[in-house]
Amino acid sequence: MLGSLSLLWLAAMTTSLVSQSQILTLEDYQEGEEDDVTVATPSLAVRCDYDRCRHLQVSCQELQKVGPVACLCPGLSREDQQPEPPRLGEVQIMAEEGYAVVHWCAPFSPVSHYWLLLWESNGAPQKSTPLNATVRRAELKGLKPGVAYVLCVVAANDAGESNVPGAEVEGPENWTGPSFGPCRKFIMPPKPVTLVYAAVGVGTALALLSCAALVWHFCLRERWGCPRRQGMAQASEAL
């Protein structure tokens, strides 16, 4: 009798314990799930602070590693493929100093480094030193005034280098590529200094000419008087 009672009690205890533990685990699970959701929702919406046109921009994958919360990166082409061409942006021309500042934007591809190609005239282009993958801006020095150039930016990774449209074209004169790709044609203006000299020269010539005209005019008047006025005076006397 006592034995069967204690057996019943034991059974009741275990079932209650089991049900309690089941409830607990269910609650734990639900809480955990809720936590996951609250953490996951904002991080899904946050994009990494990555601008593919920003100079000295570290790669988005590195931003993902160091950031406090996971952020989203733009999709990239495959690593075992050559990169897509970068997009050449603004070319700021400093005519007086004979240099240009070039900006570009990274392609949506893994890039290990960049370089620039510069055609001055028919023949092989000049190739810049390699620029690391964070670089988006470079200076071109020693550009000659009044000369046409074609400039291209090339991205490279372990699988190869990006295409350069019109690389087979002989020199800047024949180049007719699109202006939104990796290449751009630009013409260095003549030096402002020479323009100033030219303006001063033309101005001086004009001033000398008008002086000469004035001197000639007054000399004539002093020598022969003013024939038209005299003529008019004679005419009025005659009336």
Ligand X SMILES: *[C@@H]1O[C@H](CO)[C@@H](O)[C@H](O)[C@H]1NC(C)=O
Nearest CA-CA partner of 131 in 153, 149, 115, 152: 115
Rounded to a whole number of angstroms, the minimum distance from the CB of residue 74 to ligand X is: 20
Complex with ligand X: residue 132 or 210, whichever CB lies closer: 132
- Dihedral over Cα of 49, 50, 53, 56: its sign: positive
- The nearer residue to ligand X, 72 or 134, going by C-beta atoms, is 134
Binding ligand X (rule: CB under 6 A), the pick from 77, 112, 134, 163 is 134
Number of H helices, E strands in the chain: 4, 9
Report the nearest approach of ligand X to the CB of residue 134 (Å). Answer: 5
What CA–CA distance (Å, rounded) separates 4 from 113?
Answer: 82
Task: Tell me the C-alpha distance between 133 and 11, whole Å.
Answer: 69
Task: Report the nearest approach of ligand X to the CB of residue 183 (Å).
Answer: 17
The residue among 27 and 170 lying less far from ligand X, judged by its C-beta, is 170
* Region near ligand X per CB under 6 A, out of 18-26, 111-119, 139-147, 170-178: 170-178
Nearer to ligand X, 112 or 134 (CB): 134
Q: Does 121 bind ligand X (CB under 6 A)?
A: no
Token pair in block for residue 130: 């390699």
Among 132, 194, 204, 234, interactor with ligand X by CB under 6 A: 132
Residues of this chain, 174-233, that bind ligand X according to CB under 6 A: 174
Contacts of 96 (CB under 8 A, 6+ apart): 191, 192, 193
Among 7, 141, 173, 180, binds ligand X (CB under 6 A): 173
- Scanning the chain, the segments in alpha helix (DSSP H) are 2-45, 60-66, 192-224, 227-238
What is the binding site for ligand X (CB under 6 A)?
Answer: 132, 134-135, 170, 173-174
